[in-house]
Amino acid sequence: MKTNRVSLITLGVKDLARARAFYEAIGWEPSGVEDKVVFYDMNGMKFGFYTLEGLANDTGRKVEDLKTGAMTLAQCFPTEAEVDAAYEAALAAGATAVARPEKVFWGGYSGYIADPDGHLWEYAMNPFWDLDEDGHLK
């Protein structure tokens, strides 16, 4: 079995209903919803949101020791216009603007938002990576 893979990414959130509402407002569809967690299918893996209390209990850490913002998640789009549209849709759904999309030093086009819990998302067009019709990297 390959070790170079990710099966599940889970982010801690203060308010699960708020997180779910935000992500559904930008078009995400949950594949599983429980009392303290919601999951989304992601092309062979799962992405989830877990209450901070539940995550703290599972990891044996205190809620105040759990941190956000020291990493980024990214979605790639085939065009700059689609980056702009996703960025504006996120803002309309309640995201905080971090960096407006613009041409960047590495040759692409990129901008950042923070979701309601402060998790950073990059919306980017990378001219060096091809995407399939579903937006997955080839």
From 66, 88, 123, give the residue that closes a domain: 66
pTM of the model as a whole: 0.90
Same domain as 72, residue 45? no
- Vertex 111: Cα angle to 108 and 115 (nearest 5): 145
Nearest to 26 by CA among 106, 102, 121, 130: 121
pLDDT single digits (tens) 102-134: 999 999 999 999 999 999 999 999 999 999 988
**Given the structure tokens 């309640």, which residue do they identify?**
94
H or E, element range at 55? helix 52-59
47 and 78 housed in the same domain: no
